[in-house]
Amino acid sequence: MSRELVVIALGGNAIKQASEIGTTEEQMKNVDTAAEQIAKISMAGYKILITHGNGPQAGALLIQQEEGSSLVPPQTLTVVGAMTQGQVGWMFQNRLAYHLKKMGKDAPICSVITQVEVSSDDPDFQDPTKPVGPFYTEADAKNHAAEKGWIVKEVKPGVEKSWRRVVPSPEPLSIVEERAINSLLVERVIVIAAGGGGIPVEKGKDGSWVGVDAVIDKDRAGFKLSQAVKADKFMILTDVENVYVDFNKPNQKALQEITLNEAQSYLDDGQFFKGSMGPKVEACMRFVKWSGREAIITSLDKALDALQGKTGTRIKK
C-alpha cells in the first residue's frame, strides 16, 4: 500500500456546479461524491491533504452581505473567505468521516483555518481575475456591473451563462499555518487546509497579520501547500474528466498526458482561460517543475482512477 502524500485540490465550481442554484443539499451531495472517492484513496494507503475552492460560495455570501446591509453590517471579503473555510471544511469532515467509517476506517480528520500571505502590491488588484458567485448571461452580468459596480468577465465561453463577477486574486507567498499542518500530518490526520485559497493576509506595521480583501486562487495555494508539506503528488479535481484544447468547439480534444513544454505551448496559444482552466494547468506545471513528479487534473468522481493512471490529464516533465 502506498504511503505517498497526495494534495487534493477541489474546485468550488465542482462543489456547487454551474447548473445548480447552490442549496446546502446540492453542495453536500457533490461533497459526498468527492468524499467517497477521497475515502477510497485513503483506504489505498495514501496520506491526504485536501484544499478546496470557494468562488461560488464566496460570491453567494457577498451577495448576502450586500442585500442584507440595511439590516446588519456587511462583512468584508476577508471574513467571507474565513466563513467559507468553515462551511466547506465542515461538509468534507462530515461526509469523509461517514465514508471512511462505512469502509471500516476510523481516521482523524481536521479542518485548519488557514491564513496565506499575499502582497497588496500584486498586479491582480488592478486587473481582477478571480471569478466568484453565480454564472450570468452577458446581458445580466453587464447590468449587475452597471448597477452594483461589479467587475465582470467572460470565463466559460461557448455556453449561455458564461460571465461571472471577478475579484482580486493575488499570488500566494507562504502558508502561515505551515507548522501546524505538518504536525497534524505527522500524526496521520487527514487535513483540510487553505480552503478557498486561504484567508489573504499581509504583515501590518506592528508585525501582525492583517486581512486583505481578495480571494486567492485555490490551485496556486494548493501548490504552495504541496511545497510546504513536501507532497509526493498533486491532483486538482474539477467538473470535467480531462483538460481539453478547443474546449466547447466541434474539434475539442481531451488531453491524456502532456509534457511541461506542451502545456506551456497550449497556455501561450490561449487554450486555457484565466478564470477557469488556466490557473489549474499553471499550478500543476509549477508542481512538476518543483518536484519532478506528475500532476493530475480530473473530475470529482474519477479521483482514484486518475491517481492510478486510468483517466484524467497528467502533466509530466
- pLDDT value of residue 1: 53
Instruction: Find the helix or strand (DSSP H, E) in which 58 lies.
Output: helix 55-67
Confirm whether 75 is domain-assigned: yes
Catalytic residue among 11, 16, 59, 130: 130
Q: Rounded to whole angstroms, how far apart are CA atoms 28 and 179?
A: 30
Domain count, the chain: 1
List, in order, residues 6 or more apart from 12 with CB less than 8 Å away: 52, 53, 54, 55, 56, 57, 58, 88, 196, 218
Confirm whether 165 is domain-assigned: no
57 alpha carbon, distance to own chain's centre: 12
Q: Rounded to whole angstroms, how far apart are CA atoms 124 and 127?
A: 5
Residue 93 belongs to domain spanning? 5-117+174-316
Confirm whether 146 is domain-assigned: no
Confirm whether 152 is domain-assigned: no
Annotated catalytic, 130?
yes
pTM above 0.85, yes or no: yes
- pLDDT value of residue 133: 83
Do 34 and 10 contact (CB within 8 A), yes or no? yes
Instruction: Find the helix or strand (DSSP H, E) in which 37 lies.
Output: helix 24-43
- pLDDT value of residue 35: 93
Catalytic residue among 218, 224, 233, 274: 218
- pLDDT value of residue 102: 97
- pLDDT value of residue 132: 85
- pLDDT value of residue 159: 84
227 alpha carbon, distance to own chain's centre: 16
Question: Residue 150: helix, strand or coil by DSSP?
Answer: coil
Phi/psi for 160 (5° steps) reads: -65, -50
Confirm whether 145 is domain-assigned: no
Q: Rounded to whole angstroms, how far apart are CA atoms 63 and 68?
A: 8
- pLDDT value of residue 11: 80
Confirm whether 20 is domain-assigned: yes
Confirm whether 263 is domain-assigned: yes
Do 199 and 78 contact (CB within 8 A), yes or no? yes
Give the pLDDT of the chain (317 residues) as one tens digit per residue. 568 999 999 987 778 877 888 999 999 998 998 899 999 999 999 999 999 988 889 889 999 999 999 999 999 999 999 999 999 999 999 999 999 999 999 999 999 999 999 999 999 999 998 888 889 999 999 999 999 999 999 988 888 899 999 999 999 999 999 999 999 999 999 999 999 999 999 999 999 999 999 989 999 999 999 999 999 999 999 878 999 999 888 899 999 999 999 999 999 999 998 767 898 999 999 999 999 999 999 988 888 899 999 999 999 99
The 10 Å Cβ neighbour count of residue 6 is 23
CATH number at residue 207: 3.40.1160.10
Annotated catalytic, 13?
yes
Annotated catalytic, 218?
yes
Q: How many residues does the chain have?
A: 317
Catalytic residue among 16, 233, 280, 302: 280
Catalytic residue among 13, 30, 54, 242: 13
- pLDDT value of residue 160: 87
Confirm whether 162 is domain-assigned: no
Annotated catalytic, 230?
no
